Amino acid sequence: MIPQQIAHTIVDPKAYAAEKPVDDAFTWLRREMPLAVAQPDGFDPFWVVTRHRDILEVERQNELFHNGDRSTVVTSKTADEKVRSMMGGSPHLVRSLVQMDNPDHGYYRRLTQPYFLPQNIRKLEPRIREIAKSFVNRMAEKGGRCDFARDIAFLYPLHVIMEILGVPEVDEPMMLRLTQELFGSADAEMSRSAPADENEGLAALMATIADFVAYFNKMTEDRRAHPRDDVASVIANGTVNGQPLGQLEAMSYYIIVATAGHDTTSNTTAGALWALAENPGQLALLKKDMPACMPLFIEESIRWVTPVKHFMRTATADATLAGHKIAKGDWLMLSYPSGNRDEDVFDDPFAFKVDRTPNRQVAFGYGAHVCLGQHLARMEMRILWEELLPRLHELELAGEPRRMEAAFVCGPKSVPVRYRMQ
């Protein structure tokens, strides 16, 4: 059993906002108990998978380790019981690709996968570059000081994915607010309300999901009547085994595209500029040799921030992992930040290196559930940095950056900077 102090740290939203407590906790676990059981007060026990190779071993065995049998994020007993009572026994408030196993996962993924293939998103590059230039110009007009997270990083990927999905620009502020409420439900600044207890927090989360559903129900009606060349039309008119998508599945599909489609890219972009501001030597190296460093820098940014902190898996049969017996029904936490700081895989893992190679980061997941939008995310980041870095001549922090309080998806919520641009 993992010591209680560490068990509580790895489920504590405030610890992820501070970052060092979870870094220290996972470093200790990789060294002393790389695969062991945690049982924080109020939670069912779960295995904590901390090493890079063990995370990959679980990820590549999708039939043995399921997504959908239990909650896909670490959840207290009270919250799990409440969700099951509201959802007819299901542990999930939504049923997106994240909560699906085969055969449904394959069927539903194939609906939109062609849209996000490299050869297809390349067609979007001219338009994405226009959007990137507009945000770089906006940064230049700020007069040498801005909150890069709030003013640029939150808004640029949001605008890109909303165009792809088919959401009008006027609704983007609402979509950003709902996304932050969904992923930041434990953060008083991001949540719909400042919940006094877990029940109030769950009620606020349900209200956020209800707002998403109301919006996308109207969008479905419109796209069925007037299909367009956007992802909303694919979802609204898509079929699985000859049948239209179910209501829960369709709404969940919209929600994952409308939230994960920008939030993780925003977090990575904001975190990358934060790292560059703290490491002027790395910024100089990147600017000196941008063509060679750019793909390496993007992978390092993804590794460095690792916005998705974990996913949970459930064993469908007795198994052995890293020499330990896993019983059927056991719950496992895949810790991506830990895998991305694994000393056996990454040289000097707590250093930010824009030219790091090799870089086998696991932030996008692995195997059948690898991030659907990974190629789009890389393209968005590359284009933004190609437009910004040649114009950026000085950069430093102008205050203390802050991260969101969240144990599932977490990244910077404020990155104040001073800079000089041409």
pLDDT at 195 over 70: no
CA–CA gap between residue 297 and residue 357 (Å, rounded): 10
Reduce the DSSP state of residue 394 to 3 states and report it: strand
User: Residue 314 in 3-state DSSP?
Assistant: strand
**Residue 313's pLDDT is what?**
98
pLDDT on residue 270? 98
What's the rounded mean pLDDT across residues 247-256? 97
Strand 310-315 with 331-335, pairing:
antiparallel
pLDDT confidence of residue 201: 80
| Residue 30 reports pLDDT greater than 90 | yes
Q: Predicted confidence band at 20 (pLDDT cuts at 50, 70, 90)? A: very high
Q: How many angstroms separate the Cα of 167 from the Cα of each of 78, 122, 192?
A: 36, 21, 22
- Give the pLDDT confidence score for residue 91 in this predicted structure: 97
What confidence tier does 323 reach under pLDDT thresholds 50, 70, 90?
A: very high
pLDDT band at 200 (very low <50, low <70, confident <90, very high): confident
CB 185 within 8 A of CB 93: no
Taking residue 314's Cβ as centre, other Cβ atoms within 10 Å add up to: 21
Alpha helices in 87-189 (DSSP H): 104-112, 118-121, 125-141, 148, 155-165, 172-183
pLDDT for residue 272 is more than 90: yes
- pLDDT range class, residue 76, cuts 50, 70, 90: very high
CA distance from start to end of the chain: 56
Residue 44 is encoded by which pair of tokens? 């069912």
Domain that includes residue 195, residue range: 4-421
- pLDDT of 191: 87
Q: What torsion, rounded to 10 degrees, do the Cα atoms 299, 303, 308, 312 define?
A: 110
Domain of residue 50, CATH code: 1.10.630.10
Q: Is the pLDDT of residue 188 over 90?
A: no
Residues constituting the chain: 422
Q: How many domains does the chain have?
A: 1
Query: CA nearest 321: which of 57, 32, 48, 26?
Result: 57
pLDDT reported for residue 180? 95
Mapped onto helix, strand or coil, the DSSP state of residue 146 is: strand
**What mean pLDDT, rounded, does the chain reach?**
96
Residues 204-222 have a mean pLDDT of: 95
Q: How far apart are CA 165 and CA 188, in angstroms?
A: 29
Q: What percent of the chain has pLDDT over 70?
A: 99
